[in-house]
Amino acid sequence: MDNNVKNLIFSNDVSGNIDAIAKELSPAGIYVIADVNTATFVVDRLAKTSTAIAGAHRITVKSGDINKTIESVTDIWKELNRQGATRNSLVVNIGGGMVTDMGGFAAATFKRGLRFVNIPTTLLAAVDASVGGKTGINFNQYKNEVGLFCNAHAVIISTCFFDTLPREEILSGFAEMIKHAIIDANVGLGDLLRSDISAGTYTGSNFLEHVRRSVMVKQDIVSKDFKETGLRRILNLGHTIGHAFESHALRHGIPIAHGYAVAWGLVTELLISHMTLGLPTDIIYPLAKFIYENYGAYEISCDDYPSLLQLMGHDKKNESPDAITFSLLRDIGVIETGITVDPDTIRAALDIYRDLMHI
């Protein structure tokens, strides 16, 4: 099996690239999946310059991770069926991680698999969700509980749509870039933490190169361990606790952005790394300061710990619900996977997280 995306394209000429892909594949119909916001701000814009998008069937879904559900997938399947999609059709997912996750899942399962292309329109989707072959939906209040591994035929990564995003969306993706810089010392964590991510600095070719370097960290790891049996688990840094924060927020009806949850999860898991593997604190405190100043805090109390621990125990990457495992850090670029951490250590890390986040 080829574990790489066949075509991983970094270019601000999105229309030219999607038209070239459509010409190469000659699909029996093109089906664009987008949420209500992206349909207006991006798909309409692309349709003015792309023949493929202008002539495509459109399937619009509700926006927000709370709508990444089996009901939404069913609606997509119904539309694909109603509009006559065949196994030779092409699905084009245009949007953030919710759209690429769910659209990829819908395409990969309809008629046992349609080819699909991801065009991420958010920084988070560009550096995380749109590459790596993970598709899926939330189920029974658990994040990404149902899904499968399936690579897109192509991913077109661009910065040209980032001008449609609020700063919160840029920060959400920037958290994954920080994670990649922690994983790979060559990316430069210090440079990222000193970066100017104010409005207008993230739509050009310079920022596209930063995005490319970040994506290639993930792509290199995925190519060696597509189904997350070993090495790929280092990409879960920040996610065991981050996903618990997300699911906890969903349970309370106040969904939080994935990248923000990862940012807070990174702080907490680096604290666990210090307690268990001796990660130097001079790495943790500048990161925690940057996270607090830019992301604020996910406010929790001691009363939330049992629920958070239960959610961590349900994480798909655990060997059993009684053993909470993490990918943890000895130093920048030195990560160990599959480390079981006892509940007392996790509680202690959450205590310090609350102190660092001024809760």
Query: For all residues of the chain together, what is the average pLDDT?
Result: 91
Q: What pLDDT score was predicted for residue 5? A: 58
**pTM for this entry:** 0.84
3-state secondary structure the chain: CCCCCCEEEECCCHHHHHHHHHHHHCCCCEEEEEEHHHHHHHHHHHHCCCHHHHCCEEEEECCCHHHCCHHHHHHHHHHHHHCCCCCCCEEEEEECHHHHHHHHHHHHHHHHCCEEEEEECCHHHHHHHCCCCEEEEEECCEEEEEEEECCCCEEEECCCCHHHCCHHHHHHHHHHHHHHHHHCCCCCHHHHHCCCCCCCCCCCHHHHHHHHHHHHHHHHHHHHCCCCCCHHHHHHCCHHHHHHHHHHHHHCCCCCCHHHHHHHHHHHHHHHHHHHHCCCHHHHHHHHHHHHHHHCCCCCCHHHHHHHHHHHHCCCCCCECCECEEEEEEECCEEEEEEECCHHHHHHHHHHHHHHCCC
Task: List, for residues 294-331, the tens digit of each pLDDT value.
Answer: 999 999 999 999 999 999 987 756 665 567 999 999 99
Task: List, for residues 20-35, the tens digit of each pLDDT value.
Answer: 999 999 999 999 999 9
